[in-house]
Amino acid sequence: MYLVDDNRVKLFPVKNIMKWSCIKPHASAFAATLICLSTASAFAEERLYQGKTFSEWVNQIDMEIPIAMGHEPEYWRAIQFFGTNEIPKLIQWIKSDSTALEDKREADREKPLAQGKHVPIFGPATYGSVERAIAVFGILGSSARSAIPALTQIAVHSHDRIQYESAIHSLSLIEPDSLHAFETILTKSRPEARAEAVGWLPIFHTNVVAILPAIVNCLTGKDGNVGDIAADELSRLEVPDAIVCPMLTNALPVASAPTRLRIYRCLFWRCEGMSRTESNESSRKETIRLLQAALNDKSYDVRDFATNALHDFH
C-alpha cells in the first residue's frame, strides 16, 4: 500500500492503513484519493523518448564501441533529450556504488567462468550503475555543470575508492567548468583522491595554469605518492616555464630531500620534453644551473640524480 508523504511515495504496512480507516473513515478516503493522484502524477512525470524511459536508454550504452562525430547512436540523442533532468539520479548511482559492490560483481563473474560457462567480458550487461553514470556525463559534457557541486562533495568527502574516482572522472568530462572543482579536490581531499585528480589535469590543457599553485602544493606536500604523481604530470602540463620554474625553485630552500628530488626531476623532465627552440633555451640553461648546484646537495639521491641528468643533457 502506498501513501504520499512529503511529496514522496512511501510503503507503509497494510495493518496501519486498516487501523487508520477504522478510526477515521474520512481520512481513509482522503488517503485513497491522494494515492490515486500521486500514482498518476508519478507516471505522468516520467518523460519518455520514443516510448522508452531514461534508464532504458542508458542500458543500451556500450562503451566498447567507438562513436564517430555525426554518427552518434540513438541512445546518445535520447540522453541529450533528457538532458540535465536526470542528474540527481546520476549522482545517486555514483553514491550507491562502492568498492565492496564492485568486488562482489567480480566474484559473481568468476563463479560461472570457473565452471566453464560463457560470461560477457564487455558490453552493457557488464556495466554497474557508476559506469553508466560516467558514460552519461560524457554524453552531456559541459551542459551537466549543475552536477559539479555534488560531484565535488563526493570526491572530497567519500572514503570509498569507486565513489571518489568516479566523481573525479565525471568532473573531468564536464570541463572546462569543473576546473576549480579540481582545485578544491587538490587542496581539501584525502591523498588518494588528490592523486586521482592530478592524473586528469591534462584534459584542461592550458587552462590548468589557473590552479597551478594547488598542483605545486601537491608536488611539495608531505604525501610522497601524491608528490611523485604531481611531479610527473606537471612535467607534461601545458603551462609556461616562466610561471612553473620560479614556483618550483622558490620551494627548494625549505624542501625536504625527497621533495627536492621531485622538483629537480620535474624540471629535468620538462626540459627533456621540450623542442630545442630559442624561446625555451633560457629555461634549459636555468635547469642546468640548478642541477649543477644540486651536485653539492646533502642528499645522495639528489646528487646522484643531478649527475645522471647533467650527463643526459650533454
For residue 124, pLDDT over 90 is answered with no
Q: Please state, for a pLDDT cut of 90, what percent of the chain lies above it.
A: 59
For residue 246, pLDDT over 90 is answered with yes
Looking at residues 269-286, what average pLDDT do you find?
73
Cα 16 from Cα 203, distance rounded (Å): 56
Predicted confidence at residue 122, as pLDDT, reads: 46
Band of residue 199 on the pLDDT scale cut at 50, 70, 90: very high
pLDDT, tens only, 87-114: 999 999 999 878 777 777 666 656 665 6
For residue 209, pLDDT over 80 is answered with yes
Predicted confidence at residue 115, as pLDDT, reads: 62
Q: What pTM does this model have?
A: 0.78
Looking at residues 274-281, what average pLDDT do you find?
58
Predicted confidence at residue 20, as pLDDT, reads: 33
